[in-house]
Amino acid sequence: MEKQRLVRELVAIVGSKWVISNPEDLLVFEYDGSVSRGLPDVVALPSTVDEVSKIMRLAHQEGIPVVPRGSGTGLSGGSVPESGGIVLAFTRMNHILEIDPVNRLAVVEPGVVNIDLTSATSKYSLHYVPDPSSQRACTIGGNVAENAGGPHCLAYGVTTNHVLGTEVVLANGDVVWLGGKTCKPGYDLTGIIVGSEGTLGVVTKIIVRLMPDPESIETLLAIFKEMDKAASAVSAIIARGIIPAALEMMDRLTIQAVEPAIHAGYPAEAGAVLLIEVEGLKEEVAEQANDIEGICSAEGAMEVRRAKNALEKERLWAGRKNAIGAIGRLSPNYYLLDGVVPRTKLVEVMRKMADTGQRFGFQICNVFHAGDGNIHPNILFNTQVHGETQRVLQAGAEILKACVDAGGTITGEHGVGLEKREYMPWIFSDEDLEAMVRLRVAFTHGAPLNPGKIFPPRKARNE
């Protein structure tokens, strides 16, 4: 379809104010938090499921690619329109439609910002568990697309464990409900939608589970001279049968970036710190905190501190939540990875990672969910230096391959998107990938819904 006609059709659906087509305005929508780029032909901002349905029906009839987009904070190119087409931005669909404190659930639109949901439910002493570091900006819809996690998902699970149902607009414009407020028999189609990266349908409503606020919380900071000892302490804590609500690690280079910016209280001489949080009944929390302190000391911690009040706790977490942004103080660009390794292989993989950085000539900051082995190396580089972007991608691939070789995988919460699609054969056979492609075709009938994501291009072409 000719672009001017497409714009007119979209204006008829959502209004002229909510269609973006000028080239200079479209630049805002060509990227997310990854290194990938792709310019859309047009952006539409619907406000109702009916408008989404009409847009999807139009795109389906004309064979136009559709790419759903939340806040654009994704880290794998999931919302980058590699093939152009329509970007469907959910900025206007940002309403919390229902909070049911008795049944501990909420119904939200996809554009609701993550932290706004917890803020709205706090008066009922409830909260939404998945808390990505970008929770002040990322949306629930984006979290559903990528199956996002966060520091407090160690004990409670990631997004898929907290989504009960979704309203989905299929590629042909049909609107269906998958799951619901109560358990339903049959295939877990809600579980299939969560983490599908917008390739099966467009989510327009989400029913989420809410959790009661804990009676007691203890936040600890364990300070280590060496990264290896901090990693060993992680394994020792889990081996003791203790599953903290959060168990995060930051290395020396990350601390050097964070502390001048946030003043979180991380000591500059530390080789690594563990930020640990336990929650639950008061007596249980006190016992676990004591056990963790003892384990860390036995594993070589120089010091273990406990937050004395809410302000100290907030400051410690501010350092962790703002760590990625603070790394920008060290380098004009960084490439953020998202691998997973068995906890017992953390030391081995971290050493291989350091070797990779040294051979490629890159510094690497590490800040990650150590409790579940979800590592987030940040490779520092400069896009203005000729060839560095390509080299940083090569270094990143080597690190992710080390994760796979150690028995891990290529993503824990950021999704596959564009950046890791070529690595899927490392962990899936041709038969596995073929089954997934068939599932995609069953939902979309081959329509270009967020095309180019998840599957290697040659496999996607076989659709």
Residue 166 has pLDDT above 70, yes or no: yes
Residue 460 has pLDDT above 80, yes or no: no
Domain boundaries, the chain: 3-89, 96-212, 216-325, 331-405, 428-461
Q: What is the mean pLDDT of residues 361-387?
A: 96
Q: What is the mean pLDDT of residues 386-396?
A: 96
Tell me the fold of 96-212.
3.30.465
> According to the model, what pLDDT value does residue 458 have?
74
In CATH terms, 3-89 corresponds, of 3.30.43.10, 3.40.50.300, 3.30.420.40, 3.40.50.1000, to: 3.30.43.10
Task: Provide the pLDDT confidence category of residue 73 given band limits of 50, 70 and 90.
Answer: very high
- Mean of the per-residue pLDDT values of the chain: 96
Question: In CATH, what is the architecture of 331-405?
Answer: 2-Layer Sandwich (3.30)
Q: What is the pLDDT of residues 7-27, one digit of tens each?
A: 999 999 999 999 999 999 999
Q: What is the mean pLDDT of residues 409-420?
A: 97
Residue 463 has pLDDT above 70, yes or no: no
Task: Provide the pLDDT confidence category of residue 1 given band limits of 50, 70 and 90.
Answer: confident
Q: What is the mean pLDDT of residues 33-49?
A: 96
> According to the model, what pLDDT value does residue 184 have?
84
Q: What is the pLDDT of residues 228-265, one digit of tens each?
A: 999 999 999 999 999 999 999 999 999 999 999 999 99
> According to the model, what pLDDT value does residue 15 have?
98
Q: Do the domains 331-405 and 96-212 match in fold?
A: no
What would the CATH number be for the domain defined by 216-325? 3.30.70.2190
Residue 459 has pLDDT above 80, yes or no: no
Residue 457 has pLDDT above 90, yes or no: no
Give CA angle at 244 (239, 247), nearest 5°. Answer: 90
Residue 199 has pLDDT above 70, yes or no: yes
Q: What is the pLDDT of residues 101-133, one digit of tens each?
A: 999 999 999 999 999 999 999 999 999 999 999
